[in-house]
Each structure stands twice: as C-alpha cells, then as structure tokens.
C-alpha cells in the first residue's frame, strides 16, 4: 500500500469520563490532572475530561484540565439540553481547543422507555441542541447513543440534520456492546456511503466491551472508514468497559499492512499510562491482558524461551520497549539527591510544582531509609496519590501479632484536625488495624475487596495494597504502598475513606442531578 493513502486516526481518550464510570474508579481533581498530563505525553488527540453537570468535582476537574493542558482538544460531555451544554461550555472554555460533546439516544427502545419521546421530537431536540452548543464553540461532537440498535434510515436522517446544524464530529456508539465486527463494519460503511455531508466531518466510533468485542468492532469501523476511535486506558469504563486504547493503537501499529493507518500516539508512553491509571484507581489489569498485563511479554514454555533467545521475532510480534516496558536501570537510593530525584520525576512524566516535588522528596527519603533500591514503580506509588482534601490522616499504627497471640492493634487517626485513637483485635494484623480505624471514623462503608502484591523485588519490596469499600451502592478503591504491609493496608483504607468522603460531598453539592436518567 502506498504511504500516500495512509489514514490518520484520531484517538479520543475517555478514561476520565466513561472510564471513571467503572465501579471503584472515581478520581479526585489532582489525580485527574496527573492522568491528563500523562495522556498529553502519550499523544492522544482529544481528552474527554469529564461530565461537568454531573458534580462540582467533575466540573472543577474539567476546568482545571482545560486551563492547563495545551495542544490537545479538551471535551466535556453534556446531555442534549441547554443546562448541560452551558455547564460543559463553562468548563471547557478555558481550553485552547474546546469541544462540547452532546449526546442523546436514538434507538426506539430508548425513545419509548427512557426518553418517552417520538422520533420527530428527538430529531428536533438533537438539531436544536447542536445549534445551541455551536453558539459557544466551533467543535461540537454529537453522539447518537445506542446507535448500533437504531433504525438505520432514522439514524442517517439524524446524522444529516446534526451535520447541517454544525456538528464537526459524529460519534456512533455501540453503547451496550451488542454489535459484532462484520456487522459493525457494514453499519459504518453504510453511514459513510449514504449520509449526506459525512465526508465533511470526523466519523467516530465508541464501542463497549460487553461481548469482549470492543477493540475488534473499533478496528472494523476503521476499515470501514471511521477516522476517530473513542477508547480508554486499560479498557476501563461502564460495565465491561470500553475499547482499550493500547490494544487499538498497537493493532494499528503492528498490522500496518492491514489497516494502513497511523495515530499520534507515542507508543513508548503506553505502559507508563497504564501503570499510572492503576496506581490512581487501585484497579489492576489481569496478568494476561494484552500489551500491558504482567505476562504480556513473558515466555514460560521452554520451546518459546529457546526460540526468543535465538531470535526474538519467533514469538514476539512487538518488542516490550515499543510500548515502554524496558527495565529502567537508573535506580535511585538513599544517597540520591533532590536533583536526581527531580530528573527522575521528569523522565517519568510527572510535571509537579515545587511544593509537590518537596512533598514527594520527603516521602522518597523516608522510603529510602527502609528500602535500598527505589524503582520507577516505587516512585509512581509515592506521587500518584495526591489529595486536595484529607478528612482522615493515619498518624500511628502498631500491631502485635504472631502464631500464639490474638492480633491486637492500636491506631491513631487525625479526624478533621482532632487526634483520635482506638484499638481492636482481628483475624490477622491487617484485620485488627482496619477494625480499629473503623471504630474511629464515622463512615458506614464496608470493606468488600482487598489485594496485596509486591512492587518489584522480593521480601524487601514495598507491598502495594488496594482496598475497596462500598457504601450505598458506590464502590471506591483506595491504594497505598509501604514496606510494612499492615501500614500499607491501614493507609489504603484511609485513602479509600477520604475518596469516599470527597465523592459524597460532590454528590451533595451537585443538586441531585440524575446524570444518566432522563434529559
Ligand atoms: O456509551 C455511550 O453511548 C456513551 C455516550 C455518552 C457517547 O458513553
Ligand atoms: Zn460509553
């Protein structure tokens, strides 16, 4: 294939919006900002930074990202109504490349049961709201929610209408992950062939993974003529998630012979982006996950190991380095100074202000007193968590345990500036520490998940702990790392409680808006 025909595919990252709708994935503003900085380094074309009407926290995060991140389009989601659109505009207007992304469902199923509207009413609404959004910014994305289950002729009519009204991107979501690759190819090809004006806009797809087909469907759409894909890091998102950015990008990269398409993505930033998201949300990827899973480049079988040693390409279709997985040998330690630490932070993609660097350096020094070699992953664990607000702060934890005693803990926690202490026994030292903290805090949240793993190395390594708590159907994951896993567990629990507190405050402030309900 001649290089003159190579197609440019826009990568629209929705980790901070659809991704954040994953159970347990909620992030605070600083965490979102950190991730947005990394997405910019990764080279995504559009960052969907959030759903500004959903909560004050969402609004603040979109605004902060719009203010700071340059060179990338920043989108804010809005239902097709004036209030949502104005709120989205008020947050994205600080960006040099603002986008209002407005959506409304077009399938008869949604019209009848959810929206209780006729097709004619919906058509008018979609067009009027695109016009309204266009009065604020030039770039408008329109999504026909549940497009893959919408009557084709009606969908064509809606798309033609919104293009005429000023939409610059038309997005075709497979909202419930129902489509199959061949069917979706034809669906997109027909839109490309039959809709008037489609050649003048970006044709985008947004696939969910309910049948495990999100990436396959997105790639089929690219073959059929789509020029933007919406995706998330690690494939996180509503229910079974969205199409995984790293899988789409590497499929296009490794199989250029098939797709003849390029993206702006700097593939060597993929692994770092995946790791950062995991650190922030506490949601790990499965070991066998393509591209970013622990085993994605591990060769276990003797025949495979032998082959790879003789010639890598026998069993490797891409190098780990291509996705940024080289083992970085520049390991820091006790004697590393602030200059080396700062350079390391920069090489890892952390753009921190002086105060943040100072805070991270203090934590780094404390860690290097307990641990000889500090790896990149350790540094991620030091800086990935940053909070604008901490209701609870763990001040002290002490546990007595052993094979002949009942584990007993004593903890001290600062609650709104007041030091409180309590003690408890438990099934093991971690349980005892969590029980004692539970007695201090006011939250009624229940611990529903616990995971611990080591960050590189062996018994001297930091234990990386994730704790998921649940309250009123909301799951929040907290995470922390420490060379003492009881301390890491207590901190992870406190981290989850702080995130839940911020989440609940935002819900209260957001004037009871039912974000995914009616219009
Ligand atoms: O899945 C979906 O339909 C969405 C839209 C808001 C684009 O997330
Ligand atoms: Zn979605």
For residue 65, give the CATH number of its domain: 3.20.20.70
Nearest ligand for residue 238 CA: 2
Q: Which of 372, 366, 392, 386 is nearest to 276 (CA)?
A: 386
- Which residue is closest in CA terms to ligand 1's atom 7? 143
The token pair that represents 427 in the structure block? 């099934």
Give me the half-sphere count of Cα atoms (radius 13 Å) on the Cβ side of residue 462: 29
Mutate to test the pocket of ligand 1, among 54, 100, 103 (most ligand atoms within 8 A of CB): 103
Phi first, then psi, for residue 228 (nearest 5°) are -145, 140
Specify the pLDDT at position 512.
Answer: 41
What is the reported pLDDT for 316? Answer: 87
Choose one of 143, 179, 218, 237 to mutate for the ligand 1 pocket test, by most ligand atoms within 8 angstroms of C-beta. Answer: 143
Evaluate whether residue 288 is within a structural domain.
no
Buried b (16+ CB within 10 A) or exposed e, 25-58: bbbbbbbbbbbbbbbbbbbbbbbbbbbbbbbebb
Q: What is the DSSP letter of 443?
A: -
Low-confidence residues of the chain: pLDDT under 70: 1-4, 326-330, 349, 384-389, 506-519
Residue 488 structural domain: 392-508
Same domain, 382 and 400: no
Residue 19: its pLDDT value, please? 96
Maximum Cα–Cα distance for the chain, whole Å? 78
Give a yes or no: residue 514 inside a domain.
no
Residue whose CB lies within 8 A of the most ligand 1 atoms, among 206, 232, 243, 517, for a mutation test: 206
Given this model, what pLDDT does residue 3 score? 59
Ligand nearest to the CA of 101: 1
Which run of H or of E encompasses 2? none
Please report the pLDDT score of residue 4 as a whole number: 65
Domain count, the chain: 4
- Same domain membership, residue 177 and residue 95: yes
Kindly report the number of other CB atoms within 10 A of residue 166's CB atom: 18
Closest atom of ligand 1 to CA, residue 143? 7
How much distance in Å is there from the Cα of 105 to the middle of ligand 2? 12
Q: Same domain for 242 and 308? A: no
From the CA of 103, which ligand is nearest? 1
Measured from the Cα of 145, ligand 1's closest atom is 3
Structure tokens at 92: 């994205």
Short-list 108, 94, 98, CA closest to 77: 98
Shared-domain flag, residues 317 and 343: no
Residues 374 and 492 in one domain: no
Residue 293 within a domain: no
501 and 396 housed in the same domain: yes
Q: How many CB atoms lie within 10 A of CB 349?
A: 17
Model pLDDT, residue 142: 98
| Residue the block writes with tokens 């005429």 | 164
* Residue 144 domain-assigned (yes or no): yes
Which phi-psi region, left, alpha or beta, contains residue 39 (left: φ > 0; alpha: ψ -120 to 50)?
A: alpha
Same domain, 411 and 271: no
Q: pLDDT at position 517, please?
A: 44
Q: What is the pTM of this model?
A: 0.82
Nearest CA to ligand 1 atom 5: 145
Domain-located, residue 519: no
| pLDDT the model gives residue 172 | 98
Residue 360 lies in a domain: yes
């Amino acid at each position: 294939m001649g290089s003159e025909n190579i197609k440019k595919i826009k990568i629209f990252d929705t980790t901070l919006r659809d991704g954040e709708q994953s159970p347990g994935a909620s992030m605070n503003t600083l965490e979102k900002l950190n991730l947005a900085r990394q997405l910019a380094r990764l080279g995504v074309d559009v960052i969907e930074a959030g759903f500004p009407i959903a909560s004050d926290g969402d609004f603040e995060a979109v605004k902060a990202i719009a203010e700071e991140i340059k060179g990338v389009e920043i989108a804010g989601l809005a239902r097709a109504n004036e209030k949502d659109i104005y709120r989205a505009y008020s947050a994205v207007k600080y960006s040099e490349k603002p986008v209002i992304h407005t959506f409304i469902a077009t399938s008869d199923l949604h019209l009848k049961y959810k929206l209780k509207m006729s097709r004619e009413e919906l058509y008018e609404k979609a067009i009027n709201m695109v016009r309204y959004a266009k009065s604020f910014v030039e770039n408008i994305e329109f999504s026909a929610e549940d497009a893959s289950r919408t009557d084709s002729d009606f969908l064509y009519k809606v798309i033609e209408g919104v293009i005429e009204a000023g939409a610059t991107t038309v997005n075709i979501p497979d909202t419930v992950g129902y489509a199959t690759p061949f069917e979706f190819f034809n669906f997109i090809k027909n839109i490309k062939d039959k809709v008037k004006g489609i050649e003048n806009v970006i044709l985008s797809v947004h696939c969910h993974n309910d049948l495990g087909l999100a990436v396959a469907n997105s790639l089929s759409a690219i073959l059929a003529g789509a020029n933007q894909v919406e995706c998330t890091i690690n494939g996180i998102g509503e229910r079974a998630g969205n199409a995984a950015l790293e899988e789409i990008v590497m499929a296009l990269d490794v199989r250029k012979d098939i797709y003849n398409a390029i993206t702006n993505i700097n593939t060597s930033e993929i692994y770092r982006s995946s790791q950062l998201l995991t650190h922030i949300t506490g949601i790990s990827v499965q070991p066998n996950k393509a591209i970013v899973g622990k085993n994605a480049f591990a060769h276990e079988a003797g025949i495979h190991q032998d082959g790879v040693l003789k010639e890598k390409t026998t069993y490797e279709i891409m190098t780990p380095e291509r996705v940024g997985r080289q083992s970085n040998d520049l390991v820091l330690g006790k004697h590393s100074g602030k200059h080396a630490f700062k350079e390391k932070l920069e090489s890892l993609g952390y753009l921190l202000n002086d105060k943040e660097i100072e805070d991270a350096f203090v934590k780094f020094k404390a860690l290097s007193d307990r641990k000889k070699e500090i790896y990149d992953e350790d540094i991620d664990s030091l800086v990935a968590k940053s909070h604008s607000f901490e209701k609870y702060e763990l001040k002290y934890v002490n546990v007595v345990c052993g094979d002949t005693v009942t584990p007993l803990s004593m903890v001290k926690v600062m609650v709104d500036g007041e030091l409180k202490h309590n003690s408890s026994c438990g099934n093991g030292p971690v349980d005892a520490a969590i029980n004692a903290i539970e007695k201090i805090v006011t939250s009624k949240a229940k611990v529903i998940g616990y995971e611990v793993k080591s960050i590189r190395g062996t018994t001297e390594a930091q234990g990386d702990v994730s704790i998921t708590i649940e309250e009123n159907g909301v799951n929040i994951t907290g995470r922390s790392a420490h060379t003492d896993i009881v301390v890491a567990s207590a901190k992870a629990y406190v981290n989850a409680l702080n995130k839940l507190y911020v989440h609940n405050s935002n819900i209260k402030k957001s004037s009871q808006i039912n974000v995914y309900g009616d219009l």
